[in-house]
């Protein structure tokens, strides 16, 4: 143990568990890549103002959870608490929106929020996200949701539920907002929540406290205030999802913790995770580009939490296959054999065979134990006498059978056996 440990609310990814994180990132991104989404990577920090404007000044993320810093040059920066604002900023900066639309992008990375740590909630966590910029088309909303569902399915997750709602748009939300404010002002709420009513009343619906939720029965719902355009749009999304065999639950209270959503809004939840049940979420954010100084650019996107997806796999008892398990474990006996066998090892790897070596000059018995523990199918043992005879012993670690093969053709023979 060193004097140091990982900071509060963070944890290290270590083998073998780290393999699941890689597999989840791969499983989430594979459907996106097949659907024409290109990879984008943005800096780990941005100007504070981008998130203040892009995520929303009244959100918990901006008011309480950002890691901010002032550089020696006086710039106010924040570690990124989410991906959408940065990705949109990058796309606008590179003028991608002047090309063919929609611009479809995916990303994967670390995000930082100064939250109270608990199971499934960390200060450093990992997301894979996708954004489709510059098109208003219910098929695009449906596409993204379907791609997330396909990712969950490919991982073998069965118990992810999709909650779906529409938050309306600039035409119908103002009247709804006013009706909601009227209702909320009549409730018995604390000072901070009263302030929130004036800044972003929809977020009060998202308040998790029992005392607040109880008073919200009978609150006006966006669903009943959607304009014709938004209602028709939402209906089309629902129809496309149903046609794709994607089940969803209409959740008229779903607002999510970020300010920028319009129309389609959704969340993926998993009931095996306790309080932190959201494994991902997203929606349409038609006004966000203008909020950060860009042109009108109706867009839709989501982010899936990698940490919580791994927890969901564990909750369901799903075990993922080990990626590139060791096929061959090479065991040299004696100095000369060591050099020769190391050459064979390199050749094997270059030929695409996953192979490892008994390093550290341990005895044969110890080395064979390591071969067993490595999970390899074959041990390749080379002693002085084998060397003199130009052979190497190939041992099948499953059956225990062992036979000499010519050193010169060992790589080809092993490849043939493995294929
Ligand atoms: P959000 O950007 O808040 O919509 O989050 C998208 C997803 O990221 C959530 O559904 C979670 O799966 C994950 N996530 C958000 N915050 C955290 C956190 N503090 N720790 C772990 N995962 C998180």
The whole-model pTM stands at 0.93
Ligand 1 site residues (CB inside 6 A) read: 82, 113, 115, 121-122, 125, 127, 257, 278-281, 303, 305, 307-308
DSSP string for 227-289: -HHHHHHHHHHHHHHHHTT---EE-TT---S-TT-EEEEEEEEEGGGTT--EEEEEEE-TTHH
Residues 139 and 245 in one domain: yes
Residue 115 CA, closest ligand 1 atom number: 19
Task: Point out the domain boundary residue: 282, 315, 348.
Answer: 315
Does residue 311 share a domain with residue 348?
no
Pair 409, 335 in one domain: yes
pLDDT in tens, 288-332: 999 999 999 999 999 999 999 999 999 999 999 877 789 999 999
Reading the block at residue 322, the tokens are 């080990």
**Residue ending a domain, choose from 284, 315, 346:** 315
Question: Which of these ranges, 53-67, 308-322, 337-351, 375-389, has the smallest mean pLDDT?
Answer: 53-67
Total domains in the chain come to 2
Among 261, 286, 315, give the residue marking a domain's end.
315
353 part of a folded domain:
yes
Name the residue at shortest CA distance from atom 18 of ligand 1: 121
Answer whether residue 307 is part of any domain: yes
Whole-number Å distance between alpha carbons of 149 and 167: 21
CA-proximal residue: ligand 1, atom 10 (nearest): 280
The rounded Cα 272 to chain-centroid distance in angstroms is 18
Whether residues 248 and 110 share a domain: the answer is yes
- Claim to verify: residue 380 and residue 231 sit in the same structural domain: no
What residue's CA is closest to ligand 1, atom 8? 305
Q: Cα separation of 155 and 27, whole Å?
A: 7
Helices and strands, counts by H and E, the chain: 15, 16
The secondary structure of 189-241 as a DSSP string is --HHHHHHHHH-GGGGGG---HHHHHHTTT---GGGG--HHHHHHHHHHHHHH
Tell me the CATH number at 67: 3.30.930.10
The answer to whether 111 and 80 are in contact (CB under 8 A) is yes
Question: What pLDDT score was predicted for residue 258?
Answer: 61
pLDDT tens, position by position, 92-135: 999 999 999 999 999 999 999 999 999 999 999 999 999 999 99
Instruction: Specify whether 116 is located in the same domain as 94.
Output: yes
pLDDT (mean) for 80-102? 97
Task: Judge if 257 and 357 occupy the same domain.
Answer: no
- 211 within some domain: no
Q: 149 and 38 in one domain?
A: yes
Asked if the model's pLDDT at residue 271 lies above 70, the reply is: yes
pLDDT at 259: 62
Distance from residue 183's CA to the centre of ligand 1 (Å) = 30
- Coil vs helix vs strand at 384: helix
- My answer on whether 287 and 361 are in the same domain is no
Band of residue 75 on the pLDDT scale cut at 50, 70, 90:
very high
For residue 82, the ligand 1 atom closest to its alpha carbon is: 2
The answer on 266 and 404 residing in a single domain is no
| Predicted confidence (pLDDT) at residue 257 exceeds the cutoff of 70 | no
Supply the mean pLDDT for the chain. Answer: 95
Task: CATH number of the domain at 340, please.
Answer: 3.40.50.800
**What is the extent of the structural domain holding 394?**
328-418
Q: Residue 414: which pLDDT band, with cuts at 50, 70 and 90? A: very high
């Amino acid at each position: 143990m060193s004097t140091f440990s990982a900071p509060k609310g963070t944890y290290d990814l270590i083998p073998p568990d780290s393999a699941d994180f890689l597999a989840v990132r791969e499983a989430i991104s594979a459907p996106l890549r097949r659907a024409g989404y290109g990879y984008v990577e943005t800096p780990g920090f941005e100007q504070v103002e981008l998130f203040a404007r892009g995520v929303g000044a009244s959100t918990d993320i901006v008011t309480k959870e950002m890691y901010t810093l002032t550089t020696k040059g006086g710039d106010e920066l924040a570690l990124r608490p989410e991906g959408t604002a940065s990705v949109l900023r990058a796309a606008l900066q590179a003028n991608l929106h002047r090309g063919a639309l929609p611009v479809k992008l995916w990303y994967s990375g670390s995000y930082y929020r100064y939250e109270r740590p608990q199971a499934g909630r960390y200060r450093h966590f990992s997301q894979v996200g996708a954004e489709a910029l510059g098109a208003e088309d219910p098929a695009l909303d449906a596409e993204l949701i379907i791609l997330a569902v396909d990712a969950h399915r490919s991982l073998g997750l069965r118990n992810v539920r999709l909650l779906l709602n529409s938050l309306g748009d600039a035409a119908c939300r103002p009247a709804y907002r006013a009706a909601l404010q009227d209702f909320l002002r009549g409730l018995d709420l604390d000072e901070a929540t009263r302030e929130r009513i004036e800044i972003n009343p929809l977020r009060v619906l998202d308040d998790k406290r029992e005392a607040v939720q109880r008073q919200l029965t009978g609150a006006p719902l966006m669903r009943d205030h959607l304009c014709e355009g938004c209602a028709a749009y939402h209906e089309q999304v629902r129809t496309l999802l149903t046609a794709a065999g994607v089940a969803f639950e209409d959740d008229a209270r779903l607002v999510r913790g970020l300010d920028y959503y319009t129309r389609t809004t959704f969340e993926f939840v998993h009931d095996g995770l306790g309080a932190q049940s959201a494994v991902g979420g997203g929606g349409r954010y038609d006004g966000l580009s203008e909020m950060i100084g860009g042109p009108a650019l109706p867009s839709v996107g989501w982010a899936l939490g990698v940490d919580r997806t791994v927890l969901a796999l564990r909750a369901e008892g799903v075990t993922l296959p080990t990626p590139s398990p060791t096929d061959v474990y090479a065991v040299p006996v004696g100095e000369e054999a060591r050099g020769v066998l190391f050459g064979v090892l390199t050749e094997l790897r270059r030929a695409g065979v996953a192979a490892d070596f008994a390093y550290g000059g341990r005895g044969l018995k110890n080395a064979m134990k390591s071969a067993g523990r490595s999970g390899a199918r074959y041990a390749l043992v080379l002693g002085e006498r084998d060397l003199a005879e130009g052979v190497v012993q190939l041992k099948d670690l499953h059956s225990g059978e062992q036979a000499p093969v010519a050193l010169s053709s060992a790589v080809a023979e092993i490849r043939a056996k493995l294929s």
